[in-house]
Amino acid sequence: MSEKVCIGCGIELQSENPNKNGYIPQEKLKESTGHYCQRCFKIKNYGQYIPVKMTRDDYRKEVQSEMKNAKLAIAVFDIIDFEGSFDVEILDVLREMDSIVVINKLDLIPDQKHPSEVANWVKGRLEEEGIAPLDIAIVSSKNGYGINGIFKKIKYFYPNGVEALVLGVTNVGKSSIVNRLLGVKTVTVSKYPGTTLKSVKKQIPHTNITLVDTPGLIPEGRFSDLVCEKCNLKMVPANEISRKTFKVDKNRVLVIGQLLWFKVLNDDGVKPIFSLYAAKDVMFHETNADKLKELLDTQRGDILYPPCDECRDKYNSLEKVTHRLTIKTGQELVFKGLGWISVKRGPLEIELVCPKEAGISIRSAFIKPKR
């Protein structure tokens, strides 16, 4: 008899130990219908989070095992946290297989950026990595925009059907897209990282297309993974991200929550102009350089959030590093798992302080801010 697995997260089911993954009461396990493990049941019905982390080795083994039968990779990236979802493990798979790249969360982009602009920008980023997908789909798993386009692209390239590996890091909306394609909410979906634990295979009704929903990889360097689960949820945008534009004098400091801060160094008499993008719950605060230490020491939760009171001490204990950076006009400074700065009038010269393990990078502008 085949081993029973959770239809929500793919984990093997067991009824011996309620403290281990895959637990389900014995009487439920005897039922013939599809089963959810205790963890998925609590996530789906009560929004209760039970953390389980998967290592990169675990992830690699799971994906490589499923690659033996799959012919197509469907890679899902988050356009709002593109650098945080553009992970090397995913890119390595795309170099080996035919792929359709799905860019999710179109609905969260401000300034009404056209899908074709998004696709062209993403195509350029993929070319930099030596990746040429069969096609790119721009979607919103939240409102269903573009989902049918994914189905049509699969049918076009594989008219006789295919087993497709669905890949992505945590929080990109991968399982939501799978559920949209299936037409039913079977796969467990939550904003918490690491919800899917094992690959879940589902066939799109009335087709020969099988979707293999793989576990979400927790990438390195995301600010949102350096805080508690409550703060993590606040930092993952659920609605259109907020934007604030700054025109800052030399030696002024901008503090983003209490996550990072930077001092403006420009000394040419021209004030740089830039916009900062992040989830609406992330607070921005401008101050003088000589008042920064006093501000940080007071731990003002009303103006410096996240982190929250529960995880602030742990976050503040992380080793900090200082970066001296120059961001030119038309470039963006990206903070993985947090947001980005887009420079309208530059260069913007700064001294940035953030945790050593936090990922930052400079890229060509995705959104050019308005004054």
- Which residues, 6+ apart, have CB-to-CB distance to 107 below 8 Å? 140, 142, 143, 145, 240
Q: Kindly list the strands in the beta sheet with 209-213, ordered across the sheet, starting from the edge strand earlier in the chain.
A: 135-138, 98-104, 72-78, 162-167, 209-213, 200-203
Token output for 367: 């959104």
Nearest partner of 164 among 207, 227, 104, 103, judged by Cα: 207
Please, what is the Cα angle at 10 between 35 and 136, to 5 degrees? 125
The predicted structure's pLDDT at residue 175: 85
SS3 of residue 331 by DSSP:
strand
Report if residue 371 sits inside a domain.
Answer: no
Domain count, the chain: 3
Tell me the average pLDDT across 254-265: 96
**Residues 91, 187 share a domain:** yes
**Residues 263, 142 share a domain:** no
Q: Decide if pLDDT at 45 tops 90.
A: no
Q: Decide if pLDDT at 246 tops 60.
A: yes
**Residues 308, 182 share a domain:** no
Per the CB < 8 A criterion, the answer to whether 84 and 169 are in contact is: yes
CA–CA dist 348, 360 (Å, integer) = 15
Report if residue 11 sits inside a domain.
Answer: yes
Tens of pLDDT, residue by residue over 3-32, are 688 877 777 888 888 877 788 888 887 787
**Residues 57, 40 share a domain:** no
CA–CA dist 215, 370 (Å, integer) = 39
Percent of the chain with pLDDT over 70: 92
Q: Decide if pLDDT at 203 tops 80.
A: yes
Nearest partner of 347 among 366, 331, 370, judged by Cα: 331
Report if residue 370 sits inside a domain.
Answer: no
Structural domain containing residue 326? 225-364
Structural domain ending residue among the three candidates 17, 35, 50: 50
Whether this model's pTM surpasses 0.85 = no
Report if residue 142 sits inside a domain.
Answer: yes
Nearest partner of 273 among 249, 253, 242, 241, judged by Cα: 249
β-sheet bridge partners, residue 210:
163, 203
The predicted structure's pLDDT at residue 1: 34
**Residues 135, 276 share a domain:** no
Per the CB < 8 A criterion, the answer to whether 118 and 79 are in contact is: yes
Per the CB < 8 A criterion, the answer to whether 349 and 266 are in contact is: yes
Would you place residue 370 in the very low, low, confident or very high pLDDT band (cuts 50, 70, 90)? low
**Residues 354, 281 share a domain:** yes
**Residues 276, 266 share a domain:** yes
Q: Decide if pLDDT at 2 tops 50.
A: no
**Residues 191, 66 share a domain:** yes
SS3 of residue 17 by DSSP:
coil
**Residues 247, 108 share a domain:** no
Q: At what angle do helices 147-157 and 174-182 cross, to 10 degrees?
A: 70
Considering only 86-100, 175-189, 336-350, which range has the smallest mean pLDDT? 175-189
How many C-beta atoms lie closer than 10 Å to residue 315's C-beta?
Answer: 19
DSSP for residue 214: P
If one compares 37 and 262, the residue with the highest pLDDT of the two is: 262
**Residues 155, 42 share a domain:** no
Tens of pLDDT, residue by residue over 319-344, are 999 999 999 999 999 999 999 999 99
If one compares 113 and 67, the residue with the highest pLDDT of the two is: 67
**Residues 93, 5 share a domain:** no
Looking only at the bridges linking them, the beta strands covering 348-355 and 72-78 are: unpaired
Would you place residue 371 in the very low, low, confident or very high pLDDT band (cuts 50, 70, 90)? very low
Q: How many CA atoms lie within 13 A of 14 on its CB side?
A: 9
- Which residues, 6+ apart, have CB-to-CB distance to 271 below 8 Å? 247, 248, 249, 345
**Residues 79, 183 share a domain:** yes
Average pLDDT, the chain: 88
CA–CA dist 117, 161 (Å, integer) = 30
Q: Decide if pLDDT at 195 tops 70.
A: no
Tens of pLDDT, residue by residue over 215-243, are 888 889 999 999 998 999 899 888 889 99
Report if residue 18 sits inside a domain.
Answer: yes
- Which residues, 6+ apart, have CB-to-CB distance to 183 below 8 Å? 204, 205
Tell me the average pLDDT across 135-160: 96
The predicted structure's pLDDT at residue 13: 85
If one compares 48 and 239, the residue with the highest pLDDT of the two is: 239
Q: Decide if pLDDT at 110 tops 90.
A: no
Q: Decide if pLDDT at 112 tops 80.
A: no
How many C-beta atoms lie closer than 10 Å to residue 137's C-beta?
Answer: 24
Report if residue 163 sits inside a domain.
Answer: yes
The predicted structure's pLDDT at residue 222: 95
CA–CA dist 124, 92 (Å, integer) = 17
Report if residue 339 sits inside a domain.
Answer: yes
Q: Is 238 left (phi over 0), alpha (psi -120 to 50) or beta?
A: alpha
The predicted structure's pLDDT at residue 51: 61
Structural domain ending residue among the three candidates 203, 219, 235: 219
Q: At what angle do helices 88-96 and 56-67 cross, to 10 degrees?
A: 20
Residue 255: Cβ-neighbour burial (10 angstroms; 0-12, 13-18, 19+): buried
Report if residue 16 sits inside a domain.
Answer: yes
Tens of pLDDT, residue by residue over 305-317, are 999 999 999 999 9
Would you place residue 160 in the very low, low, confident or very high pLDDT band (cuts 50, 70, 90)? very high
If one compares 42 and 123, the residue with the highest pLDDT of the two is: 123
Tens of pLDDT, residue by residue over 129-143, are 999 999 999 999 999
Percent of the chain with pLDDT over 90: 60
Tens of pLDDT, residue by residue over 50-69, are 666 667 787 788 888 888 89
Structural domain ending residue among the three candidates 219, 245, 270: 219
Would you place residue 197 in the very low, low, confident or very high pLDDT band (cuts 50, 70, 90)? low
